Copies of this chain bind each other. A is one copy, B any other.
Amino acid sequence: MKRVRLTIAYDGTNYCGWQIQPNGITIQEVLENCLEDLTGKKTPIMGASRTDTGVHALGNVAVFDTDMRMPGEKFSFALNQRLPEDIRIQKSEEVPLDFHPRYRESEKTYEYKILNRQFPIPTQRLYTHFTYVPLDIEKMREAGKYLVGEHDFKSFCGAGAQVKTTVRKIQEICISREDSLITIKIRGKGFLYNMVRIIAGSLMEIGQGMYPPEHMKEILEAKDRQAAGPTAPARGLTLVGIQYLEEKPIEAEGEKVTWA
């Protein structure tokens, strides 16, 4: 028996998020079906991040256990042959049997993309949130500074979440603009339900001039979801990657992969 870790990219447009549920098709379900087809056995997958309906990923992480003799790094090729075009394994590798994608300490990086111009660009519509209201990214950057560090992010926690504590730590918020595309990059050790999208919604209100940058401090202090801005739409959000901390590199078996 061995444990295999997958790094997975997907276009979330046509999925009801990561986690298996009765209302529609999910990433986890499609992956488990392909894995059953490959291994000949029901093989449950445990994901690191249960992304919401419509949210995209460049590097979500999941593990499964198998007694197949195929080397860990070969699963990427075998699964990609079976997966639909909007899900692609980026990497597969054997990890220790006690590696747990959710309880192991990690940093996640998200990007929220906003297309800010007079009219939408059709080829970007699926992966950005569009707004024609001009956004002042200097104000957004100033507001973002209040969120960096360890805080009680209760105001940024979506309804229905059951968590012991709403204290989280944001390592970095970086806001950049390239032509009409604004990217909010957020890196942190853990996120509450809808936290990145509520932060994005709050930053946009400040960028529009509805509130001054200092309003972000008031939102934090209120510890009340009503104080924050709206949850920004899912299509703008991408889980860029998950970095597991204090991890020893795992030696690849067999054929060397020549790609970085």
* A-to-B contact residues, CB < 8 Å: 9-11, 56, 58, 76, 80, 85-90, 117-123, 125-127, 238, 257, 259
Contacts and interface: CB of A to CB of B under 8 A. Distances in A.
Nearest to A257: B118
Contact of A10 (B9, B117, B122, B126): B122
B88 A119 contact: yes
Contact of A122 (B11, B120, B125): B11
Given A9-B119, A58-B121, 14 more contacts: A9-B121, A9-B123, A10-B123, A11-B123, A11-B125, A56-B122, A80-B119, A85-B120, A85-B125, A88-B119, A88-B120, A90-B118, A117-B259, A123-B126
A121 B259 contact: no
When all copies of this chain in the complex are counted, the total is 2
Contacts of A88: 119-122
25 contacts: A9-B119, A9-B121, A9-B122, A9-B123, A10-B122, A10-B123, A11-B122, A11-B123, A11-B125, A58-B121, A58-B123, A76-B119, A85-B120, A85-B125, A86-B122, A86-B125, A87-B122, A88-B119, A88-B120, A88-B122, A90-B119, A118-B257, A118-B259, A123-B127, A123-B238
A118 B260 CA distance: 9
Contacts of A121: 9, 58, 88
Nearest to A10: B122
A7 to B, nearest CB: 10
Contacts of A125: 11, 85-86
Nearest to A122: B11
A208 B127 CA distance: 31
The 9 closest A-B CB pairs, nearest first, are A118-B259, A11-B122, A86-B122, A11-B123, A88-B120, A88-B119, A10-B122, A56-B123, A88-B122
Contacts of A87: 122
